[in-house]
Amino acid sequence: MNKKSRFVAVDILLLAGAILPLVACMVLKILTAPPTEGIEITGALIYFTLPTPLQPLPITEAQVNSVAVVIAILFICLYFTHGLTVRPHLKRQVIAEWIVEKCKNMVHTNMGERFMGFAPFIAAIMGLSALSSLLSLLGLFPPTSDMNIVAGWAILVFTLITFYKFKAGPIQYLKSYAEPVPFLAPMNIISEIATPVSMAFRHYGNILSGSIISVLIAAALGGLSNLVLGWLPGILGEFPFLRIGIPAVLSLYFDIFSGLLQAFIFATLTMMYISGGYPAEAVAKRLARREAKKQAKTAKQAEK
């Protein structure tokens, strides 16, 4: 096998690694989904439950699909970075460099030079959220329609926000709750807790509501078709003609545009909250005090 053949074979394996997890989720849903009559709106399927010391841990469709999305993104990244050269000669490298450049520009615009290291994290959030929402196009349960999944992302972001607020020290962090006046401390605490809650409910609510609206409209069109065209003979009267095309047009918004938009909004809020919570002036003063103490200590040692 020559070099070109090996290169193509690796490409095929990487693409298969990105597609097969999603296909496996589709097969798993077909084999485990309970029979239904008509259109039903349900949550994620529970595949099995693991016993834990605190309480039983259900392994749901949302969790399995999330793992499949992570694996798919991993192999997509490996595919786009396969065969990188100094001078791009593959279209995929041009696309990969464009994505990296856009993510860096977005982080630089929203967070500043200090947080440029967040570019991979922001790209990962957008990719994970967007692909999770787009799973509905394959007939799979989108993980972003599960509050537990999105709340986990929000808690991670909240942890990062708190971490960077602590950069100025725990005392300064506690003082920030008493700004601008001490009696507003309870409101500031509530506002702090509301940050991850609002991020989670915003993302979850928009994706879930889109799925519900699409299903309800499809069901209504089916009933309307039966009411208006039910007089047609035989199978023609039972066929839902009005459901042809219209749900697909709605899917362009609810499944594609809305999913991509919510991924962008979640990433933007992440950047704004983290960079906005970083007390740059207080951190600069703290570092200046440390440097002054260090120089004073060095001067004393030099005198001895």
First-to-last alpha carbon distance for the chain, in angstroms, is 73
| Dist CA 210 CA 297 (whole Å) | 63
Residue (of 135, 191, 192, 183) closest to 161 by Cα position: 192
- pLDDT value, residue 217: 77
Q: In which residue are the tokens 């694996």 written?
A: 71
How far does Cα 196 stand from its chain's mean position?
14
Q: What is the spatial distance between Cα 270 and Cα 204, in angstroms, rounded to a whole number? A: 15
Q: What confidence score (pLDDT) does residue 65 get? A: 93
pLDDT of residue 205: 85
Q: What is the pLDDT of residue 231?
A: 64
Q: Where are the domains of the chain?
A: 84-303
pLDDT, residue 171, reads: 81
Predicted structure pTM score: 0.82
Q: What is the pLDDT of residue 71?
A: 95
Alpha-carbon distance of 221 to 212, in angstroms, equals 14
What is residue 112's predicted lDDT score, i.e. its pLDDT? 84
Low-confidence ranges of the chain (pLDDT < 70): 1, 35-42, 229-245, 247-248, 304
* Average pLDDT score over the chain: 83
- Secondary structure in 3-state letters for the chain: CCHHHHHHHHHHHHHHHHHHHHHHHHHHHHHHCCCCCCCCCCCCCEEEEECCCCCCEEEEHHHHHHHHHHHHHHHHHHHHCCCCCCCCCCHHHHHHHHHHHHHHHHHHHHHCHHHHHHHHHHHHHHHHHHHHHHHHHHCCCCHHHCHHHHHHHHHHHHHHHHHHHHHHCHHHHHHHHHCCCHHHHHHHHHHHHHHHHHHHHHHHHHHHHHHHHHHHHHHHHHHHHHHHHCCCCCHHHHCCHHHCCHHHHHHHHHHHHHHHHHHHHHHHHHHHHHHHHCCHHHHHHHHHHHHHHHHHHHHHHHHC
In the prediction, which pLDDT does 125 show? 92
Q: Which residues have CB under 8 Å from 261's CB, separation 6+?
A: none
pLDDT tens track for 155-169: 999 999 888 888 877
Instruction: Check residue 234 and give its pLDDT.
Output: 64
pLDDT for position 131: 93
The whole-number pLDDT of residue 238 equals 66
